[in-house]
Structures are given as structure tokens and as C-alpha cells.
């Protein structure tokens, strides 16, 4: 989630789904097999509350390789002790594969450790393909995204998934799930819908009942769920959204945010951006209107209204829904505002039986101290 471009998100309304208090993995209806899909049973894969193991096997920074000691079994033990029941493990093609798509030993050794430590501590695990060479959710691969422009890029994406599948195929289906791609962004949602169908067909050829997690276009915000098309007659799917609204609160003074220069007063609940004169300092008209659109009055009711867009789509399909990312950048917002936002979003999740997964664990949006793993003030809020 770190280093996202927030301009379009601001206008559309960012929503991120989290894994707290719900039962993602349980489907409302029984599946039926058809000629194109051999799914004939719904595997149980229940999610409740989780955390993202961010900046471990993904987003290491320019020129930085994987640190084999950044996440250890102690992290998994602490996650379980705090009351969480699953982890989302973001992985990055550049860190896991050489350019010829041969595996990098350091990456797959640690992915294997993640599987073992999850099993040994009683945690479920989501393998999240977070970044690939042809697509970065914030276009930070050093060149333009080509995933939706070049057929070769899509073929490579499928090859990566088939190799990940080959590595993980012997893991229990009630303990490990696959997430197709993090925060897809493309001008035409049909681009993503077609690629979903392609990679889903490839994975299902060998694993008809493994849980597959799919998010909507434009950073997985709830507002784009009506445009999402998922493969029919497959009840072993989980839909995922991300939620970071209102961005002026969750990304206050974050160095990558489009409104990073705003250092005036903020409030939550209420009219989040207090100094209205700031709008006049935004030269680009589109950015200014985006900013105005994401501000105004915010409270639990407004957040719930957005999240229900995603929930209604999932319910109509008989599929479970979970929030794969949510959180507040903590370094400048007041503790009172931060805690109130967390209390409100968690209540929305509980009220609507939505599972949630906090971004992140101990890096830019921490819930524990990076060195001691001692929980901070939000850990007990998001783990209950």
C-alpha cells in the first residue's frame, strides 16, 4: 500500500476492506459444477482478523534486496498471541524471480518459511502477488505499466502464477489462499476482467477448489465493484476491497500523497480538512476537485455507505468479502483522531460481518514496534 498515487483514489473514494470480525471464506450458496469449471465443493477457508507482512518479500525499496531476518517465526508467534488468525504475505516478482523467471532461492526459501511458520502457529496465509515487472499499483517499476498493453506481459503474469502455484500446490487448501494481483488500475475495467478470466482458468486447471482472492479495478476501492466480473459457477472465490477513506486523515502529511503539503488542522469525525484556503493553493483543477470530493463530512456512517457498495456486489454473487488493507499513517495525525478512525472502521466491519487485514505489521503503518514487537495503541482495537 505504501507509495500509492492518491489522485484518482481521492476522486473515486478510497475504500479498503479489512479482516476483522467477519467470516470471509464462507459462501452463502452451494456451488454447481459446469463444463468449464470443475469446482464441485466449497473448501472452508475462514478469515477473521489479520495483518499484512509488508516490506518483507515486496516493496523493499530501490536497490534493496530481501532481508532474511526482517520477519522471523517470532513475528508469526506474536501475531497469533495478539489475537490475529491469518497473515497476508505480499510478494514481488522482482524479488522472487530473475528476469528469465527462474526462482530466486532467497525469496522462495522465505515463502516456504512463511508457510511453515503459519502452520506451526495456527495462522492461515494469503499469498498476495503484490507487484510484477509489468505492473505496479503506483507505477513505480521505473517504467510505464505494460500489463494491459502487451500480450507478452500477460503471458508472463500467468507463467508467474503457475510457478507460484506449483510451489504452493501441496499446501492445505484450508490454510493457504492465492490473491491474483494487488490494486489493479486500468482505464477500462474490462481489461482486468478479461485477465482475471485468463489467469483463473490457468490456475483452476490444476487446483479446482483452492481459494482465489480477487479485487476490483482502481486500487480495489468499493466504488468499482459494480464493474467487476468474476468467473461464474466458482464458489471458491473471495472478493477483496481496500479502504483508506478519508485520505486526508489516513494519509495526513504522507510524503507520497497528492495533498502532502497540507499541514493545517484536520478533524475526524467531522469536516476533515479545516483550512479551506488550502484548496486555492492546488494549481491543477482536477486535483483540486478530487481533493474537495474526498473531503467534507466524514464519520462511520459515510464509511459504511461506501463499503456496502462492495458488500452488496459480493452478496449478490453469493461470495464472501474481506478487506485486504486498511490503516492510518501514524506519524503526524493526532492519537485521538487515529484511534477514533480505527474504532469506527472496526465497528463497520463487525456490524457487517466483514473480515479485515490491517496494513501493515511493523513498517510504515505499524501496529507493533519494529524492534521489540510490543503492540501499540491500535493493536488491541484491530485484533478484537
Is residue 96 within 8 A of residue 149, CB to CB? The reply is no
Predicted pLDDT of residue 4: 43
DSSP per-residue letters across 278-294:
GGGG--SHHHHHHHHHH
Burial state string for 107-125 with b = 16 or more CB within 10 A and e = fewer than 16: bbebbeebbebbbebebbb
DSSP-H helix ranges across 24-129: 73-81, 93-96, 105-121
Domains and CATH numbers, the chain: 7-32+42-382 (3.20.20.80)
Predicted pLDDT of residue 17: 34
| Element containing residue 215 per DSSP (H, E) | strand 212-215
C-alpha closest to that of 179 among 236, 240, 113, 97: 240
- 184 contacts: CB under 8 Å, gap ≥ 6: 135, 137, 192, 215, 216, 217, 218, 220
Distances (CA, A) of 158 to 93, 129, 151, 154, 203: 12, 11, 11, 6, 9
The per-residue pLDDT for range 82-100, each reduced to its tens digit, is 999 999 999 999 999 999 9
Cell numbers for 78: 506474536
Q: Interhelix angle for 151-168 vs 105-121, to 10°?
A: 50
Alpha carbons 121 and 181: distance in angstroms, whole number: 26
| Element containing residue 161 per DSSP (H, E) | helix 151-168
Alpha carbons 156 and 163: distance in angstroms, whole number: 11
- 79 contacts: CB under 8 Å, gap ≥ 6: 51, 87, 121, 123, 361
Cell numbers for 52: 499484512
Alpha carbons 218 and 202: distance in angstroms, whole number: 24
Predicted pLDDT of residue 150: 96
| Element containing residue 52 per DSSP (H, E) | strand 49-52
Cell numbers for 203: 490456475
Which segments in the chain show pLDDT lower than 50? 2-21, 27-39
Cell numbers for 268: 475526524
In the chain, count of helices (H) and strands (E)?
12, 10
Length of the chain (residues)? 384
Cell numbers for 204: 483452476
Burial state string for 14-31 with b = 16 or more CB within 10 A and e = fewer than 16: bbbbbbbbbebbbbeeeb
Predicted pLDDT of residue 41: 62
* 358 bridge partner residues: 51
- What percent of the chain is helix, strand and coil (3-state, nearest 5)? 35, 15, 50
Q: Interhelix angle for 300-317 vs 335-351, to 10°?
A: 30
Distances (CA, A) of 366 to 36, 67, 309, 310: 43, 18, 28, 26
Q: Among positive and negative, which fits the CA dihedral 179, 181, 185, 190?
A: negative
Amino acid at each position: 500500500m505504501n507509495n500509492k498515487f492518491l489522485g484518482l483514489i481521492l476522486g473515486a473514494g478510497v475504500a479498503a476492506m479489512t479482516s476483522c470480525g467477519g467470516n470471509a471464506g464462507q459462501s452463502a450458496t452451494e456451488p454447481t459444477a459446469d463444463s468449464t469449471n470443475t469446482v464441485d465443493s466449497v473448501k472452508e477457508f475462514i478469515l477473521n482478523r489479520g495483518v499484512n507482512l509488508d516490506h518483507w518479500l515486496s516493496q523493499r525499496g530501490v536497490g534493496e534486496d530481501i532481508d532474511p531476518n526482517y520477519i522471523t517465526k517470532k513475528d508469526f508467534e506474536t501475531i497469533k498471541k495478539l489475537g490475529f488468525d491469518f497473515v497476508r504475505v505480499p510478494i514481488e516478482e522482482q524479488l522472487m524471480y530473475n528476469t528469465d523467471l527462474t526462482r530466486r532461492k532467497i525469496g522462495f526459501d522465505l515463502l516456504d518459511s512463511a508457510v511453515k511458520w503459519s502452520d506451526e502457529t495456527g495462522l492461515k496465509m494469503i499469498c498476495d502477488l503484490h507487484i510484477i515487472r509489468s505492473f505496479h499499483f503506483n507505477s513505480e517499476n521505473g517504467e510505464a505499466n505494460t500489463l494491459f498493453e502487451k500480450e507478452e506481459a500477460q503471458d508472463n503474469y500467468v507463467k508467474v502464477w503457475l510457478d507460484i502455484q506449483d510451489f504452493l500446490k501441496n499446501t492445505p487448501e484450508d490454510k493457504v489462499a492465492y490473491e491474483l494481483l494487488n490494486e489493479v488500475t486500468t482505464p477500462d475495467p474490462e481489461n482486468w476482467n478479461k485477465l482475471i478470466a485468463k489467469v483463473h482458468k490457468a490456475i483452476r486447471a490444476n487446483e479446482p477448489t483452492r481459494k482465489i482472492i480477487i479485487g476490483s479495478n482502481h486500487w480495489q476501492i468499493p466504488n468499482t465493484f459494480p464493474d467487476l466480473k468474476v468467473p461464474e459457477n466458482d464458489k471458491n472465490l473471495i472478493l477483496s476491497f481496500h479502504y483508506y477513506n478519508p485520505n486526508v486523515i489516513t494519509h495526513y502529511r504522507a510524503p507520497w500523497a497528492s495533498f502532502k503539503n497540507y499541514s493545517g488542522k484536520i478533524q475526524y469525525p467531522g469536516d476533515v480538512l479545516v483550512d479551506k484556503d488550502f484548496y486555492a493553493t492546488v494549481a491543477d483543477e482536477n486535483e483540486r476537485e478530487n481533493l474537495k470530493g474526498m473531503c467534507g463530512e466524514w464519520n462511520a456512517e459515510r464509511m459504511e455507505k461506501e463499503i456496502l457498495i462492495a458488500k452488496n456486489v459480493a452478496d449478490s454473487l453469493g461470495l464472501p468479502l474481506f478487506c485486504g488493507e486498511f490503516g492510518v499513517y501514524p506519524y503526524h495525525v493526532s492519537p485521538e483522531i487515529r484511534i477514533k478512525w480505527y474504532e469506527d472502521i472496526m465497528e463497520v466491519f463487525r456490524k457487517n460481518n466483514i473480515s479485515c487485514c490491517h496494513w501493515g505489521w511493523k513498517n510504515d503503518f505499524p501496529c507493533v514496534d519494529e524492534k521489540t514487537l510490543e503492540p501499540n495503541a491500535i493493536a488491541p482495537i484491530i485484533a478484537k
